[in-house]
Amino acid sequence: MTGTVGRYAPHGVFVCFEGGEGAGKSTQSRRLRDWLVELGHEVLLTFEPGDTAVGRELRRIVLDPATGDLSHRTEALLYAADKAEHVDTVVLPALEAGRVVVTDRYVDSTLAYQGAGRDLVPEELEQVARWATGDLRPHLTVLLDLEPQAGLGRFAERDRIEGESLEFHQRVRQEFLALAEADPEHYLVLDARAPVEEIAEAVRVRVEPLLGQARSVAPEASA
């Protein structure tokens, strides 16, 4: 199923940041949000897992080391449930209102972490993830690529996923790169080791042509 087959929102702009641990997704998400607001666009900055009331409980379960071992299918279904709630109650309403939605992680994280990282059948996992999100695809996915050794070294403490083996995270990285290679029209791959502002500028260059279908804030509303 991987590729350009999918649903792209006819209104608003959907941008996703993906990548391994410590790649700078949150930093770049905020920088993009701030730039878009300066341009006068209505922006929703969000993340997965956990940016809904239901999602917060699911996030606690899947990331808390105290949870211990989970069946890999159970873990994948918990992430899928978070995505379903997130898309239906947060992402889609914002896109339908013509806003720019910037999310830190989306479906690719499931395909990389629970697909390549775990021992699940990739095709079956993708069916679940795409069904959970109504096959809604980002107009652009920015992949911040970083060697796992470098990213994991940025954390003093690790959650359940961060605490997985180096081999696990290497498989995750390779899957992210494979997803991007399969659909270059909708991906931007950047070296996460580059200067923060250099990365932010490259993102802006790719996002700017998409903004025609995003709603701007009316002058009187922003006054």
- pLDDT per residue over 98-122, tens digit each? 999 999 999 999 999 999 999 899 9
On whether the CB atoms of residues 76 and 132 are closer than 8 A, the answer is no
Q: Report pLDDT for 140.
A: 98
Residue 203 in any domain: the answer is: yes
Residue 6 in any domain: the answer is: no
Residue 7 in any domain: the answer is: no
Q: Report pLDDT for 6.
A: 86
**φ, ψ dihedrals at 44, nearest 5°:** -115, 120
Q: Report pLDDT for 156.
A: 63
Residue 1 in any domain: the answer is: no
Which CATH number goes with the domain that contains 168? 3.40.50.300
Q: In what order do the strands lie in the sheet with 13-19?
A: 43-47, 100-104, 13-19, 140-145, 187-191
Residue 8 in any domain: the answer is: no
**pTM for this prediction:** 0.92
Residue 4 in any domain: the answer is: no
Q: Report pLDDT for 155.
A: 65
Please state the domain count of the chain. 1
Sign of CA dihedral 60, 48, 153, 30: negative
On whether the CB atoms of residues 184 and 136 are closer than 8 A, the answer is no
Asked whether the bond before 209 is cis by omega within 30 degrees of 0, the reply is no
C-alpha pair distances (Å), 54 with each of 70, 81, 157? 19, 9, 25
- Mean model confidence pLDDT for the chain: 93
Q: How many whole angstroms separate alpha carbon 181 and alpha carbon 157?
A: 32
Residue 121 in any domain: the answer is: yes
Pure H helices in 104-192: 107-109, 122-132, 148-152, 166-182
Longest dimension (CA), the chain: 54
Domain limits for position 88:
13-222
